[in-house]
Chains A and B, each alone.
Chain A
Amino acid sequence: MKKKMHVFASVLALTLAATSLTACGSKSGTGTTGTASPAASAGAANSTAKDTITALLPPVSPNYQKNFDQMAKDFNALYPNLTLKIEPASWEDVKQKLDTQVNAGSPPDIAFGGSDGIPKYIQQGLLMDITDSATPDMISDYDKAPLDYMRNGKGLYGFPAYMEVHALGGNKEFLEKAGIDWKKVQQNGWTYDEFRDAIKKGVVTENGKTRYGFVFAVKGVAAVDYLGIMAKNAGMPYAFNNDMKYAYTSKNYLGLLKDLRQLIDDGSMPKELSSVDAGKRWNMFLTGQTMITGKGLAVFENSAKANNAKLTAKDASAVKDSIPVDYVVLPAPTFQGAKASSAAVVDGYLTFRGKKEPTAEHKANVVKAAYFLASGKVAATTNNDLFAAHITKTAKKEAESMKVDRNADNVAAVENMLKNATPARSDIPTDLAAKAIKLETEVIVPKFQGLIAGEVSPQQMYDAVKAAAIQAFGEDGIVKD
């Protein structure tokens, strides 16, 4: 029996040793593949072997998904050995689908998503760094600012599709009736006090119904947008300052919370604001229940125009009780003397890998597909559809022959805001970013909902955020001023 045990133990030990060696061997193999030399990448880029690239794409713009077949055909015409297989998804389930696939270890090669999701996917280890596969021609095609949003540390994790600013939107007629020089605001911005006075003037009660000065969608996750956009203009462009200290413990944050609560107490915003979601606030805007709404994107001008056309044509599908609206792009106000820092949103084509390390050839093919989607004709068509600025030279050139019906004042206003856009931060470590997201979801959003419902005071919310920040980042990891 003893002898048998010895033999069994020896076999087991040898098996374990062999497994470890195999593991080491495969690790070194993957390492080589993962850090392919430029020469190898160049070779891979010229490979003509057949390959299929999968892409999970939501309806990025109103007509985007209608063009999928043409996009796949054009890609195949450009690279006859490659097939672009597009999986369409709705906005409602694209994130869920992607997250499920990522956590199962089998994401698509490309997925459309926000650059703010990059740290989260890096932590899962499945986002693919394409620094060594993206050619200099591809890189030089992009404006620097949006491309930087797709970076984390030294890595590049996809190509940006557009760079937009989160702004506010106003009803031109109501703004003028309230005596607000909206063109001046578009050019020079406004301070919190100016904004507060303006939206007070926008409150009108007629036939027992109130039109508010300002309504922002804050229900659920939209609460992050409101607070986030305003925080950037209150001297806190990111959750971490340049010394990597958590910024939302500064006195500016408390001041911002007091200011935002004050707008409701003034009666300029509805006291039921905490129940207003994105759909509701847009409905309120189109039905004349508010003078200014947020958040606003340039494409909302297009939506307003579409509804105006339906009203003119007496089309029954126009929003019920809506009125004709001239949409005016407005910047968010600045708080406590801080410099304007427009909230930029950069979405794009994120590149993923599976559990198995991709070959250099496949990686190069994924990069070709991501670049195809994020530049040239595809980007020009999509961004025009979105009223978004073009961020590649190739798209700008393609767009020259395309006609877009956009208000010139709004175009100039967006350009002004883009000049002040918050620059990308690729230096924030993924573990800190993940902790900040958790703190935001578990403490900031619920407390902010309580604050706008009038059940949590600004001081109580500030104290709760500070206590959670100390727990997450330590006493030395937060801003103290």
Chain B
Amino acid sequence: MADIVKPMKRRKIRGEGAWGYAFIAVALVVFAMFTAYPVVSAFLISLQDYKPLGSTYIGFDNYVNTFKDALFWKALRNTVVYTILTVPVNLILSMIIAILILPLRKKTQSFFKGIYYLPVVASGVALSVVWLWIFDPMEGGILNQLINLLGIENQNWLGSGKTAMFSLVLMSWLSSHGTSIIIYLAGLLGIDETFYEAADLDGANFFHKLWHIVVPSLKPATLFLLVTGVIGSFQVFQNAYLMTGGGPDNATTMVGLLIFNNAFTYFDFGKAAAQSLILAVIIAVISVVQFKYAGKDVEY
């Protein structure tokens, strides 16, 4: 056995193999610098009372304090509620829009794809300004003008605990479909026409074809969008930060915002790092569960 091992040690990396390692090395260095190192560093910081001039090791106190913190649990509950309300609805809406766009001429398809993708490339801050105008609680607010037509009185959309979370959810429902629509359209274009022809011969109507051909064929895309959607939703920060600041009475404080506040308002980087890693673990567990149960019969 030793004889077999020895020559392998001496083997030199030549030709195509060497180039392969070189290319991997670039990706590995980038991964090590910008992903692995920050994660390891965050873990080490989470065990410290962080100070720029010298931190103190405090063991798992930051984790213990996080689990004892009522605000953390409230933020986690808010994040879960936001995720449950936004991700499935967004997937359904995106799929419907993609199905509606599919039969259109190519140019018209591109036009709608562009329209729906625009919010993805637009600045989040600029979009928030528009949404603040829509949610203006006074007479000038667009949404209030709309509900006034229905005989409903002005609502304090972002300022009331009863409507603040719904306002953020509505914002997500109406402005974050660009990527999902593009992916669903690609999936729809990949479905073989013969499936529809066979279904037509069997006398299937639109809904039969939707349920028995389209939905199963789009399952890989749906799984991908579900997993990335949940990850993105758990990390949501910008909307709450710009629209409500987490209020009123922490009704829209999400974990992402809590982490930001701990780091940049209180300079408690140790606690912020601990909460980031807890969030990462929660996201990882949910993703594994999603792959296990939703992805068991998915073929790529």
Contact = CB atoms under 8 A, between A and B. Distances in A.
Interface of A: 96, 99-100, 102-105, 120, 123-126, 209, 219-221, 270-275, 355, 434, 437-438, 441-442, 445-447, 449-450, 452-453, 455-456
Contact of B53 (A125, A219, A456): A125
A219 B138 CA distance: 14
A169 B154 CA distance: 27
Given A275-B137, A437-B266, A446 B250 contact: yes
Nearest to A104: B52
A446 B52 contact: no
Interface string B253-277: 1000000010011110100000000
B247 interface: yes
12 contacts: A124-B52, A125-B53, A126-B53, A220-B245, A272-B137, A274-B156, A275-B137, A434-B266, A445-B247, A446-B253, A450-B247, A452-B159
Contacts of A437: 266
B246 A272 contact: no
Given A274-B159, A275-B159, A449-B247, A123 B53 contact: no
B269 A271 contact: no
Contacts of B266: 434, 437-438, 441
Interface in B124-161: 135-139, 154, 156-161
A275 B139 CA distance: 13
Contacts, number: 89
A274 B53 CA distance: 40
A219 B290 CA distance: 39
B51 A124 contact: yes
Given A104-B52, A455-B161, A272 B248 contact: no
A442 B71 contact: yes
B208 interface: no
Contacts of B161: 450, 453, 455
Given A441-B265, A450-B161, A450-B247, 16 more contacts: A103-B269, A123-B267, A125-B51, A125-B53, A126-B53, A270-B137, A272-B138, A273-B159, A355-B52, A355-B53, A434-B266, A438-B266, A446-B246, A446-B248, A446-B250, A453-B160
Contacts of B162: 455
* B interface, size bucket: 20 to 34
Interface in B97-142: 135-139
Q: From DSSP, what is the main secondary structure of chain B's interface residues?
A: loop
Contact of A105 (B52, B156, B250): B52
Interface of B: 51-54, 71, 135-139, 154, 156-162, 245-250, 253, 261, 264-267, 269
From A96, A275, A447, A453, name the one whose CB has the most chain B CB atoms within 10 angstroms.
A275
Contacts of A274: 156, 159-160, 247-248
Contact of B156 (A96, A126, A272): A272
A104 B53 CA distance: 9
B255 to A, nearest CB: 15
B248 A453 contact: yes
Nearest to A105: B52
Contacts of A273: 159
Contacts of B154: 272
A453 B52 contact: no
Given A105-B53, A123-B267, A275 B157 contact: yes
Contact of B159 (A96, A120, A355, A453): A453
Nearest to B248: A449
- A-B residue pairs, 6 tightest by C-beta: A274-B159, A272-B137, A449-B248, A450-B249, A275-B159, A105-B52
